[in-house]
Amino acid sequence: MEPGVMAAQHIRQVLLFFAFLGGSSVLSETWSYSVAEEMETGSSIANIIKDMGVGDLAERGARVIFDDYQPYLRLELETGNLVLNKKLDREELCGTSEPCILHFQVLLENPFQFLQGELLVEDINDHPPTFLEKLIFLNISEGATPGTSFQMDNAQDLDVGMNGVQNYTISPTTYFYLKLKDGGKGRKYPELVLDEPLDREKEPSVSLILTAMDGGSLPRTATAPIQVVVVDVNDNAPEFERMLYEIQVPENSPMDSLVIKVSATDLDMGMNGEISYSFSHVSRDVRKTFKIHPISGEVHLKSFLNFEVTQSYTINVQAVDGGGLSGKSVIIVQVIDVNDNRPEIVFTSLMSPIPENSSSEMVVAVFRVRDQDAGDNGRMLCSIQDNLPFLLKPTFKNFYTLVTENPLDRESKAEYNITITVTDTGTPKLSTQHTLTVQVSDVNDNAPTFTQTSYTLFVQENNSPALHIGAISATDSDSGSNAHITYSLLPTHDPQLALPLLISINADNGQLFALRALDYEALQTFEFRVGVTDQGSPTLNSQALVRVQVLDTNDNAPFVLYPLQNASAPCTEMLPRAAESGYLVTKVVAVDRDSGQNAWLSFQLLKATEPGLFSVWAHNGEVRTSRLLSERDAPKHRLLLMVKDNGDPPRSVSVTLHVLLVDGFSQPYLPLPEVAHEPAQDEDVVALYLVIALTSVSSLFLLSVLLFVGARMCKRAREAMGGCSVPEGHFPGHLMDFSGTGTLSQSYQYEVCLTGVSDTKDFWFLKSVSPNNEVMPCVEENSTSVNDFGYD
Ligand SMILES: *[C@@H]1O[C@H](CO)[C@@H](O)[C@H](O)[C@H]1NC(C)=O
Ligand SMILES: *[C@@H]1O[C@H](CO)[C@@H](O)[C@H](O)[C@H]1NC(C)=O
Ligand SMILES: *[C@@H]1O[C@H](CO)[C@@H](O)[C@H](O)[C@H]1NC(C)=O
Ligand SMILES: *[C@@H]1O[C@H](CO)[C@@H](O)[C@H](O)[C@H]1NC(C)=O
Ligand SMILES: *[C@@H]1O[C@H](CO)[C@@H](O)[C@H](O)[C@H]1NC(C)=O
């Protein structure tokens, strides 16, 4: 609306009213005019000449005075027009007060005239409404119920009346409608009324535009955006992504490993949307095994899983928001079996030791195998090493028996280490080994055995009593009492052998002792059997033959058989004076009871009355003349001979020989001077003749007997041994073997063939004809003669 357009309108209003001004009590007429604001300067508003009927304005010095002395109007004196001196702004002049009236007076002089006038400044819609806030924020809880109203600040408009704010509208929205509230004095307030419930989760804010409209003919508007922030209300519970989580976890998962991450959402915001996760109503087992992070929702392992104990877990989880609303879900954890358990071996019985004579299929051990894993991880194979005399037999349901398969022999192997290996078929394969030690116990199945089948022991004769002469030994390959062996002497069948008096044996160690001194000359060798017995049940035993050889020592001096030595009257040999050189005077006969070298005798002439007349053959004891005799030779001669054996040390004996030279055997025997002074000489002389005769006969007889016996024995030995040989080379040239025999020529081969095997009865005959001291004066008193020489 241009003010200039309205300026043409002259609204003349004549109002009559009475006013009392100053001291004047003149009731004067008030002239009212109106002008639209913003009228162009110079616009004529009224003509006072016409209106008030006054003239001569110039002369009368008419002037217009406003109450506030502002020259709003100018009076054209010539025409009487009241002209706008400047544009009037109602809002400036009156603000919001209505009506806006400027009072003025028209003063005239001569005559003084005082005219009241008033100028109504009319409002034109020259101002738009304005909102104080450029952007209106409004917090509305989403829980607000429809119908709730929210009062808004109204818009301002400098214009008044209809030009002021008359109406409000909002941009179309489903949530709100606008209600105008009368604020009195024509003022209206806009109120937002909730039409539909808000949902922050759907629309966290609503933008509206509030438009204020004034009532001008050409209405002016103002707009202000309204930002409705939907304030959250905890109207949403947290909600898990899934109602059920299923997860498979290997049982060997490490501690603290992530099992699953659950997640819930809450559409609310702030505290109401802050979710914390926890377990709800879970078993203690679950609490021990799992933990959940309250913020991240990650479920971790708190302890190790064990498929063998628990195959699955059901975990109730909940998510709680800050407002206390909660959502729930379930996690099902399936534990997957991993081959983490070794097979086990449980023995129910074990027989050890087992006797070595156990029959085949004897049960040695019973055991059970088990594996806590499932499926292939729990399937098992069981085995033992090869090359054992044992066999593994499955019985039922993982039970096995270990039985003997082949015969056992403790003596070859007394202990078996049997390693049982159980392997499962899982991946990787796990196995367990168990080593059994099975002892094989002894059975008395081995007899003791001697180290040799026969033993030969050598003992020097004349041993001290209880001499240890040797040992026998036996072994028993069994063990314990089955190998505890005892030695004993077995009774001999030889009635001549008083074995218990001769030999004793140490039952524990088989040492043999000679109880008595042995005499080679009496017993040269003997045999007996020893036994050995173990202490098994039943006992086993064995025998061995022991031969004891008594070794000769030179304990016997040579014994002179002829001539007899210790007779009261010594024998005297007759030697005819006519004897030629080399005449055999006599022969010294000696024996030695020892054997071997100890019995090899040699003869030696020690002393003679006439040395050189006689000589003695060293090896046969023959005494011969060494020259022709003469008349000068003394009739009596005495020879001293020594008979010595070859022992070490040698033993010897001396022999005294008397020789009487006679001129012929017809010569009477003259007793020797030594004999002559004997007391019983007469009887002796007679005896001497007797002795000479007997001796000669005896010697001849003895020779013939020996020849006969020798020939017979030689024949017998030849039959048994294929000949009687004489080890001639064994004898030293100057010695002869005279053991146990007479001093006979080597050619008689007497000793070799007779010793030990001869029938001793042959010598009883010899005994019966042996010299007897009752008959022969030159025989010793207590002569034991040949009988003593070990032939019986
Ligand atoms: C709306 O709420 C926010 C936060 O809740 C606050 O900062 C703001 O001052 C509020 N506005 C009004 C207009 O109340
Ligand atoms: C305000 O304006 C709206 C739309 O322009 C109209 O429908 C309504 O009648 C008006 N209200 C008043 C009081 O003039
Ligand atoms: C094994 O030996 C013992 C003792 O000799 C005997 O009692 C037992 O019967 C034997 N067993 C067998 C199976 O031969
Ligand atoms: C059996 O094992 C034991 C202990 O390891 C060992 O002393 C013994 O010699 C073994 N026996 C055999 C027969 O291998
Ligand atoms: C006789 O001689 C033997 C052996 O030479 C001797 O043992 C014995 O004691 C002697 N007897 C007498 C009575 O002298």
Q: How far is CA 83 from the centre of its chain?
A: 128
Ligand nearest to the Cα of 357, by number: 3
Burial of 174: CB neighbours in 10 Å, binned 0-12, 13-18, 19+: exposed
d(CA 178, CA 169): 7
Q: Assess if residue 131 is contained within a domain.
A: no
25 beta partners: none
The closest-lying atom of ligand 2 relative to the alpha carbon of residue 188 is: 13
Same domain, yes or no: 530 and 597: no
Q: Which of 290, 309, 336 is where one domain is finished? A: 336
Q: Assess if residue 130 is contained within a domain.
A: no
The reply to whether ligand 1 has any atom less than 6 angstroms from the CB of 17 is: no
pLDDT cut 70: percent of the chain above it: 82
CA-based nearest residue to 30, from 101, 100, 78, 88: 101
Instruction: Please list, in sequence order, all residues whose beta carbon lies within 8 angstroms of the beta carbon of residue 583, skipping any fewer than 6 positions away.
Output: 575, 624, 625
Question: What local confidence, expressed as pLDDT, does residue 710 receive?
Answer: 66
Indicate which residue's Cα is closest to atom 3 of ligand 5. Answer: 566
Question: What local confidence, expressed as pLDDT, does residue 291 receive?
Answer: 94
Write the DSSP symbol of residue 39.
P
The reply to whether ligand 5 has any atom less than 6 angstroms from the CB of 631 is: no
Q: Assess if residue 128 is contained within a domain.
A: no
Indicate which residue's Cα is closest to atom 5 of ligand 4. Answer: 417
Q: Determine the longest span between alpha carbons in the chain, in angstroms.
A: 264
Query: Of the spans 159-163, 466-470, 733-737, which averages the highest pLDDT?
Result: 466-470
Instruction: Please list, in sequence order, all residues whose beta carbon lies within 8 angstroms of the beta carbon of residue 547, skipping any fewer than 6 positions away.
Output: 454, 455, 456, 457, 525, 526, 527
- pLDDT above 90 for 315: yes
Is residue 471 a contact partner of residue 510, using CB atoms and an 8 Å limit?
Answer: yes
- Model confidence pLDDT, tens digit, residues 120-135: 988 888 888 999 888 9
DSSP for 206-243, please give it: EEEEEEEEE-SSS--EEEEEEEEEEE--S----EES-S
The reply to whether ligand 1 has any atom less than 6 angstroms from the CB of 133 is: no
- Model confidence pLDDT, tens digit, residues 377-423: 889 999 999 999 999 999 888 899 999 999 999 989 989 999 999 99
Indicate which residue's Cα is closest to atom 4 of ligand 3. Answer: 443
- pLDDT above 90 for 733: no
**Which residue range forms the structural domain that includes residue 103?**
5-122
Write the DSSP symbol of residue 322.
T
Same domain, yes or no: 171 and 211: yes
Find the mean pLDDT for residues 773-778: 35
Question: What local confidence, expressed as pLDDT, does residue 12 receive?
Answer: 34
Angle at 368 between CA 362 and CA 371, to 5 degrees: 155
Question: What local confidence, expressed as pLDDT, does residue 165 receive?
Answer: 87
Kindly report the number of other CB atoms within 10 A of residue 56's CB atom: 12
Q: Between 644 and 495, whose confidence is greater?
A: 644
166 C-alpha to ligand 2 centroid (Å): 9
Same domain, yes or no: 430 and 368: yes
- Provide the sign of the torsion angle of the four alpha carbons 499, 503, 505, 511, taken in this order: negative
Indicate which residue's Cα is closest to atom 2 of ligand 4. Answer: 417
Q: Which of 408, 441, 474 is where one domain is finished? A: 441
Kindly report the number of other CB atoms within 10 A of residue 41's CB atom: 13
Helix (H/G/I), strand (E/B), else coil: 89: coil
9 C-alpha to ligand 3 centroid (Å): 157
Question: pLDDT class for 735, splitting at 50, 70, 90?
Answer: low
168 C-alpha to ligand 2 centroid (Å): 8
- pLDDT above 70 for 771: no
Indicate which residue's Cα is closest to atom 8 of ligand 1. Answer: 139
CA-based nearest residue to 557, from 617, 432, 645, 655: 645
Is residue 161 a contact partner of residue 125, using CB atoms and an 8 Å limit?
Answer: no
Question: What local confidence, expressed as pLDDT, does residue 449 receive?
Answer: 94
Question: What local confidence, expressed as pLDDT, does residue 392 receive?
Answer: 92
Q: Quote the tokens at residue 122.
A: 């009319």
Residue type, 245: Y
d(CA 338, CA 307): 8
Same domain, yes or no: 218 and 244: no
Q: How far is CA 594 from the centre of its chain?
A: 78
Find the mean pLDDT for residues 242-266: 92
d(CA 476, CA 232): 105
- pLDDT above 50 for 689: yes
Q: Quote the tokens at residue 765.
A: 């005959």
Q: How far is CA 605 from the centre of its chain?
A: 97
> Which residue spans within 706-757 are E strands per DSSP?
736-737
CA-based nearest residue to 94, from 182, 183, 186, 163: 163
Question: What local confidence, expressed as pLDDT, does residue 544 receive?
Answer: 95
In degrees rounded to 5, what are phi and psi of residue 220?
-105, 150
Residue written as token pair 């074995």: 499
- Provide the sign of the torsion angle of the four alpha carbons 726, 731, 736, 740, taken in this order: negative
299 beta partners: 260, 292
Instruction: Please list, in sequence order, all residues whose beta carbon lies within 8 angstroms of the beta carbon of residue 77, skipping any fewer than 6 positions away.
Output: 57, 58, 62
**Of all helices (H) and strands (E), which one includes residue 192?**
strand 187-194
First-to-last C-alpha distance (Å) of the chain: 194
Within 6 A (CB) of ligand 3 lie 355, 357, 359, 443
- Model confidence pLDDT, tens digit, residues 539-573: 999 999 999 999 999 988 899 888 877 666 667 88
Ligand nearest to the Cα of 593, by number: 5
Q: Assess if residue 127 is contained within a domain.
A: no
d(CA 479, CA 446): 10
Question: What local confidence, expressed as pLDDT, does residue 189 receive?
Answer: 86
Same domain, yes or no: 379 and 464: no
Pairing of strands 363-370, 326-336: unpaired
Kindly report the number of other CB atoms within 10 A of residue 559's CB atom: 18
Residue written as token pair 């489903």: 174
Instruction: Please list, in sequence order, all residues whose beta carbon lies within 8 angstroms of the beta carbon of residue 74, skipping any fewer than 6 positions away.
Output: 64, 82, 83, 84, 85
Question: What local confidence, expressed as pLDDT, does residue 684 receive?
Answer: 62
138 C-alpha to ligand 1 centroid (Å): 7
Question: What local confidence, expressed as pLDDT, does residue 240 receive?
Answer: 93
Write the DSSP symbol of residue 627.
S
Same domain, yes or no: 715 and 619: yes
d(CA 29, CA 73): 19
d(CA 735, CA 752): 15
The reply to whether ligand 5 has any atom less than 6 angstroms from the CB of 565 is: yes
359 C-alpha to ligand 3 centroid (Å): 9
Residue type, 366: V
Question: What local confidence, expressed as pLDDT, does residue 772 receive?
Answer: 37
- How many domains in the chain? 6
Same domain, yes or no: 221 and 258: no
Instruction: Please list, in sequence order, all residues whose beta carbon lies within 8 angstroms of the beta carbon of residue 584, skipping any fewer than 6 positions away.
Output: 622, 623, 624
213 C-alpha to ligand 2 centroid (Å): 9
Question: What local confidence, expressed as pLDDT, does residue 683 receive?
Answer: 57
Same domain, yes or no: 697 and 776: yes
419 C-alpha to ligand 4 centroid (Å): 11
CA-based nearest residue to 520, from 449, 602, 439, 460: 460
560 C-alpha to ligand 2 centroid (Å): 191
H helices, E strands: number in the chain: 10, 51
137 C-alpha to ligand 1 centroid (Å): 8
Instruction: Please list, in sequence order, all residues whose beta carbon lies within 8 angstroms of the beta carbon of residue 519, skipping any fewer than 6 positions away.
Output: 461, 462, 550
Q: Quote the tokens at residue 507.
A: 């039952």
Q: Quote the tokens at residue 377.
A: 């991880």
Question: What local confidence, expressed as pLDDT, does residue 792 receive?
Answer: 34
Same domain, yes or no: 436 and 462: no
Q: Assess if residue 129 is contained within a domain.
A: no
Same domain, yes or no: 380 and 492: no
Q: Assess if residue 710 is contained within a domain.
A: yes
Within 6 A (CB) of ligand 2 lie 167, 169
The closest-lying atom of ligand 1 relative to the alpha carbon of residue 138 is: 13
**CATH code for position 631:** 2.60.40.60
Counting Cα atoms < 13 Å in the Cβ hemisphere of 788 gives 10
Same domain, yes or no: 15 and 110: yes
Q: Quote the tokens at residue 304.
A: 């190790």
- pLDDT above 80 for 350: yes
Q: Quote the tokens at residue 163.
A: 């030009």
Q: Assess if residue 729 is contained within a domain.
A: yes
Q: Between 263 and 161, whose confidence is greater?
A: 263
The closest-lying atom of ligand 5 relative to the alpha carbon of residue 653 is: 5
The reply to whether ligand 1 has any atom less than 6 angstroms from the CB of 139 is: yes
Q: Between 493 and 299, whose confidence is greater?
A: 299
Same domain, yes or no: 537 and 672: no
- Model confidence pLDDT, tens digit, residues 593-649: 888 888 999 999 998 888 888 999 998 889 999 888 888 888 888 889 999 999 888
Counting Cα atoms < 13 Å in the Cβ hemisphere of 77 gives 10
443 C-alpha to ligand 4 centroid (Å): 22
Question: What local confidence, expressed as pLDDT, does residue 485 receive?
Answer: 94
Question: What local confidence, expressed as pLDDT, does residue 1 receive?
Answer: 39
d(CA 344, CA 308): 14
- pLDDT above 80 for 741: no
The reply to whether ligand 4 has any atom less than 6 angstroms from the CB of 415 is: yes
Q: Quote the tokens at residue 16.
A: 């009559």
d(CA 242, CA 232): 25
d(CA 696, CA 587): 12
Q: Between 198 and 704, whose confidence is greater?
A: 198
d(CA 403, CA 515): 56
Alpha helices in 595-680 (DSSP H): 673-676
Q: Which of 316, 336, 356 is where one domain is finished? A: 336
Q: How far is CA 608 from the centre of its chain?
A: 104
Q: Between 91 and 468, whose confidence is greater?
A: 468
